[in-house]
Amino acid sequence: MKGIPGSDSACLALIRSTVLVLGDLDLMSASYLDRRAELAVLDSIIQDVGGLPITVPPHWENQSSKIMLNAARSAGMEGILVKRSTSIYLPGQRSRSWIKHAIRTRSSVLVIGFVGSSRSVAALILGAYDAENRLIQVGSVSSGLTVPMRRQLREDFRPLERPSSPLTDPSAAAETFPGIQWLTPRLVVDVAYRAHTAGGLRHPSLKGRRFDVDFQSVRAEDL
């Protein structure tokens, strides 16, 4: 490493290369901790240069996964990346030496509509009550629906079908779908997801019906 070039693009190219190559030295067969040490050196250089949209994140060693997951959850992060300290860099290959553990939340939501046919369900439209007791849409889910579940839900939905949206303000829907069949919001399901944003639930997966939850108690603030 002989210096940092002047332009941002050149800086970024150098920073990429020095993670795996340092001068004429190939670091791909070096351990993760050795390569991480070189990043620490780069971090101090980046701070001196200033103005680069690059951050070298911190790392922790010898911590339990439970502690790190709780810390990530408290900080509102999506999860943690666990790396074996002795692992080498394997370009273009997946390795169990690097494991991404995503944080998923499980919550109860209302089914306020669905997309499907007269015999089966393709996706569920989800809702909940906000702090002012208005019914709002909180997303949709199609993952986790088995074939038997799709058919059974279609039968369960028949007495709940309605011609218009049950949302307090239909124009404020998080998502729109062609051919929605709206439902009276009575059926409660559990959904696992990564995060709840203004655009809905991220990466949701249906976990099943909840017969023990009062539909009126499903609150958006609990997501």
Give me the torsion for CA of 190, 193, 198, 199, rounded to 10°. Answer: -100
Query: Exposed (0-12), middle (13-18) or buried (19+): which is 75, by Cβ within 10 Å?
Result: exposed
Which residue, among 136, 160, 159, 133, has the nearest Cα to 216 in the 3D structure? 133
Q: What is the pLDDT of residues 129-152, one digit of tens each?
A: 999 999 999 999 999 999 999 999
| C-alpha–C-alpha distance, residues 69 and 73, integer Å | 6
Beta strand pairing status for 105-116 and 98-102? unpaired
Low-confidence ranges of the chain (pLDDT < 50): 1-18
Phi, psi of 17 (to 5 degrees): -70, -35
Q: What is the pLDDT of residues 171-183, one digit of tens each?
A: 888 788 889 999 9
Sorted by sequence, the CB contacts under 8 Å of residue 109 that are 6+ apart come out as 126, 127, 128, 138, 188, 189, 190, 191, 218, 223
Other Cβ atoms within 10 Å of 76 Cβ, number? 8
Structure pTM? 0.67
| C-alpha–C-alpha distance, residues 116 and 181, integer Å | 8
